[in-house]
Amino acid sequence: PFQVVGGKVKKPGKRGRKPAKIDLKAKLERSRQSARECRARKKLRYQYLEELVSSRERAICALREELEMYKQWCMAMDQGKIPSEIKALLTGEEQGKAQQNSVKLAKAGKTEANSGNP
């Protein structure tokens, strides 16, 4: 029933480590601590998800309001009226284009002046 391997006597049976006798109180405390940590992680995950949902809901409301505004603009334009907001946007774009063109012309003038000087 016994084997001698390398000068040591080995008993037949299960191989590997023998389970150490674990203090049951320590094991129970580790289990409780693990459960506390799990609950804390779960709570944080739910808080994160709730914040994410509320931010998405706010974004959806803002987009719905914007869509409603565009619908009203379209209905007004179908009736032959140009909403003042669109006029402001168009004049703002025209002014922006004019400013961009003047800046481009000024830059072009500076480069021409600089290239003429040795």
- Domains contained in the chain, number: 1
Report yes or no on 80 lying in a domain: yes
Give the structural domain span for 82: 24-88
Are 87 and 73 in contact, with CB atoms under 8 Å apart?
A: no
pLDDT at 50: 98
| C-alpha to C-alpha distance for 46 and 52, rounded to whole angstroms | 10
**How many residues belong to the chain?**
118
**pLDDT tens across the length of the chain (118 residues):** 566 666 666 666 666 666 566 688 888 999 999 999 999 999 999 999 999 999 999 999 999 999 999 999 999 999 998 888 888 888 887 776 766 766 666 666 665 555 555 4
In a domain, 107, yes or no: no
**Is 63 inside any structural domain?**
yes
Query: Could you say which DSSP state residue 15 is in?
Result: -
Q: What pLDDT score does 23 carry?
A: 82
What pLDDT is attached to residue 15?
63
Question: Position 107: which residue type?
Answer: K
For residue 55, being part of any structural domain is answered with: yes
